[in-house]
Structure 1
């Protein structure tokens, strides 16, 4: 009887752990989807409020990094808010900025306080012809495809945005399609804060826009082999050329001085062994 009771208790403990994991995965998914809905309608105050106040919080975007809550405010409440909606919190008539979020892969670490999400975004954007004279973008319409490799942390029982990395894969004018897209469709930032009042805290080497087709590294190992994709296989050389001729592979490595839960160092194989070991 005693052994059966112990076995039952162990089974209940496992079920509780699994239920907690599934519940956390669902909540992280909802958090990102909610972020997307706010972003669609230029509700940048609400977007910023979703980020953690943790000092290691950051956003990587277009070859730059916005660090901490103040840096994140410069990106959303500065650059985006002033460029798209002239400083208001909310949409302006005739401006479209829809982000379709999909194909999410979410993993929660064993502590239940740190999570990863890889997710694809497809954006439809542009202006209606009725505002061509009043909106600074004039009369335009374009597509964008991108990929997130994000991290989240749970603070006081609430999942929050933590480290957001968004890689815009490609842009395309609606009339001509992606095969005619000019290179460097969105110019890379060249100045940091405070020289640029809305600028990033630092410029980084992670620059990729179509027709560059490098692979954004996966936060997870292969589900069958348990291995990571080789660095050379993440590169994108010209057809028939050696991988070594192509730009260096992209990375999910942290800025100097930052670490992940349980991390002794960046190369520590004990760092979240189910998710993150080997070069992330």
Structure 2
């Protein structure tokens, strides 16, 4: 009888761990989805408050790294808000900026304090012809596809975004599509803060944009073999050429406290 009780106690304890892990996964996934919904409508203050106050918090975007909560606010409330909605918090009439967050894969660490997630975004954006003379972007419409490889942290029982790393994989005009995208269609960030008042704290190595098709590294190993993808297989050489001839594989950055 005693052994049965001990066995049941172990089963219940394991089930509690499993339920907590699954609950944490869902909370992180919901956090990322909510980020996308706020971003769609240019609610940049709400976006910034999703991020952790940890000193290693950052956003990596277009070859730049915005460090700390101040850097996060400088990107969203500064750069994006001024560029898209004239500095307000919220949408402006006739401007589209949808960021669906899809294919979410979330993994929680053993302690239940950190998580990593991979998501895809397929963005449709542009202006309505009725605002072509009043919006600074004029009449424009474009597509964008990108990959997130993010880290999350639980602070005081609440999951927050810790390190958001977004790789805007490709851009395309609506009229001509991705086959005709000019190289450097969206210029990489090149000037850091404070020389650029809305710039990143530092520049990242080896930024990428279409037609560069290198693989954004996976935070997880292969679920069957347990082996990570080989570095050469993350590269993207020209057709028929050796991987060594291509750009170096992309590498996911780590927090300074873990370097």
Contact 2:43 2:91 in 1 (8 A): yes
Q: What residue in structure 2 maps to residue 15 of structure 1?
A: 15
1:276: which partner in 2? none
Alignment partner, residue 230 of structure 2: 230
The Cα shift of 1:204 comes to 1.3
The answer to whether the aligner puts 1:253 opposite 2:228 as a matched pair is no
| Structure 1: gaps (5+ residues) | 260-265, 267-280
C-alpha distance in 2, partners of 1:254/1:120?
21
What is residue 194 of structure 2 aligned with on the other side?
194
2:239 corresponds to: 239
Q: Is the 8 A contact 1:62 1:206 kept in 2?
A: no
What stretches of structure 1 move > 3 A for 4+ residues in a row?
none
- Secondary structure, aligned partner of 1:258: helix
Distance 1:73 1:225 in 2: 41
Provide the residue aligned with 1:33 in structure 2: 33
What stretches of structure 2 of length at least 5 have no aligned partner? none
Equivalent residue pairs, number: 259
For 1:54 and 1:254, the matched residues in 2 are separated by 14
Q: State the SS of the aligned residue for 1:102.
A: strand
C-alpha separation in 2, matches of 1:99 and 1:120: 9
| Residue 121 of structure 1 pairs with residue 115 of structure 2 | no
CA contact (8 A) 2:206 2:248 kept: no
- Pairwise CA RMSD of aligned residues? 0.7
Corresponding position of 2:57: 57
**Match of residue 182 from structure 2:** 182
Counterpart position of 2:155: 155
SS class of match (2:169): strand
Scaled by the length of structure 2, the TM-score of the pair is: 0.99
